[in-house]
Amino acid sequence: MSSTKDFDEAPYRPELELEAASTAADTTPSTRAMVTSIPRDAKDRVDTATRDLTGARCLITDVDCPDMVDYAHVLARAKEKEVMMDRLEYAWGLKYRTQSIDTRQNIFRLSAKFHRLFDAKKWLLLPDISIVDQYYNARKSRKIPDIQEKVFSYTLVAHPDMKYVPIHRHEASDYRKFIYPFEEFPPIVSHVHPRFVICDAADKLRGFADVLAFGRGRLGVLPTMLHKVGQIYKAWRTAIPEPEFYEERVELGDQSERTNQSREVKAGVSYTKFFITAIPPTPPPSRSRDQPSRSVGKIPQDTPGKRVLDDGSIPVEAKLRVDKVAPKRCVLENTDESNPLDYAHILPRRSIDGIV
């Protein structure tokens, strides 16, 4: 089994989340915690892990532009509900309350555009077949796959909504254009761990229609792999922790390695209904009022590099007036709403009081 240092390098430290939540500026809401909610030491660990891989470049475009590249969670921070995280820890053979959502293996870099498309469930990453099969074959057993690699290869899988979203990827001194379904797009090499990638991918495959859309039909290797990903996640999400699991608590600051103890995974899934349904949760032990949860406070959920945009900063009537005189297309790229579009002030709103 792999060690804690190799697998999930840092214990959970809630005080860092409190600090991030209290100092971050107001930004445009989205579905995923981004730059402002990721502690500085977590970013440093990502920088170290990617130094010889992608550096500070976007994982998709391979463009190095610090002002336009975000640190992004693979498994959304918004998904970090207590019961779900308990079950993931249990299914992964970890100790109770030791899985930090800010582990370097759950954070990668994306340009603002592809970050928003990722959050909007327009594309996902698919691990190699061998990795998926290891987790798939072990989903009902007591054996947890011993995956010790530090670098993994992924395939970009896009939703049909990406049909009008080309990717211009930097290659040497030029750019290469890729279009949907991106079959010629090169393998994506990253440090992020398949466990988190599987969780994110399965969350985007909640219904059979989603599998058909991402899989481009019901036949072939791709839909089969997506089906397996859904079943793996179903098994993890429906794993019921044993009572002693909650007794194996790790105090804050404990640097001991996480256990790799195997657990029984209890799941029954079908091909057309592997997406998540409501299941009665197993309540964890009561928590004292001074014991923080994994996420505390209201986390700003977008990239601070952008101006405050769509949600609330521009009145609806102002947007309607813009729509009457201009088509809903990006001024620079001439792309429609298939791509992320914002209403943006030319003169920043924050400049009004000081200039006008």
Could you give phi then psi for residue 73, rounded to 5 degrees?
Answer: -75, 140
Task: Please compute the mean of the pLDDT values over residues 12-36 and round it to a whole number.
Answer: 37
Taking only Cα atoms into account, the Rg of the chain, rounded to an integer number of angstroms, comes to 21
pLDDT at position 350: 66
Helix (H) or strand (E) holding 214: helix 208-215
Summarize the confidence of residues 69-80 as an average pLDDT.
Answer: 88
301 touches 29 (CB < 8 A): yes
Tell me the C-alpha to C-alpha distance, in Å, between residue 71 and each of 44, 66, 174. 11, 10, 25
Q: What mean pLDDT is predicted for residues 193-218?
A: 96
Helix (H) or strand (E) holding 175: strand 174-178
pLDDT surpasses 90 at 107: yes
pLDDT for residue 301: 38
Strand partners, 156: 125
DSSP class of residue 78 equals G
Instruction: Please state which of the ranges 25-29, 67-71, 128-132, 220-224 shows the lowest mean pLDDT.
Output: 25-29
Euclidean distance between CA atoms 345 and 343, whole angstroms: 7
Tell me the pLDDT tens digit for each residue of 222-235: 999 999 999 999 99
Mean pLDDT for all residues in the chain: 76
Q: Which amino acid is at 149?
A: E
pLDDT on residue 254: 39
Read off the pLDDT of residues 283-333 as tens digits, 9 standing for 90 and up: 555 554 444 445 433 333 333 333 334 445 788 888 888 887 778 878 776
Report whether pLDDT(176) > 70. yes
Examine the pLDDT at 199 and tell me if it is beyond 90.
yes
Average pLDDT over residues 55-62: 95
Higher-confidence residue: 287 or 163?
A: 163
Residue type, 49: A
Of 111-125, 152-166, 257-271, the poorest mean pLDDT is in 257-271
% of the chain exceeding 70 in pLDDT: 66
pLDDT for 286 equals 52
Q: What is the mean pLDDT of residues 158-185?
A: 96
- For the chain, the distance separating the N- and C-terminal CA atoms, rounded to the nearest angstrom, is 64
> For position 116, what pLDDT does the model report?
96
pLDDT at 140: 87
Of 17-21, 103-107, 209-213, least confident by mean pLDDT is 17-21
CA distance 352 to 335: 30
Amino acid identity of 122? K
Tens-place pLDDT, residues 82-98: 668 999 999 999 999 99
Residue 255 confidence (pLDDT):
36
DSSP summary character for residue 227: H
Domain-by-domain residue ranges, the chain?
4-276, 307-356
- Local confidence band at 262 (pLDDT 50, 70, 90 cut-offs): very low
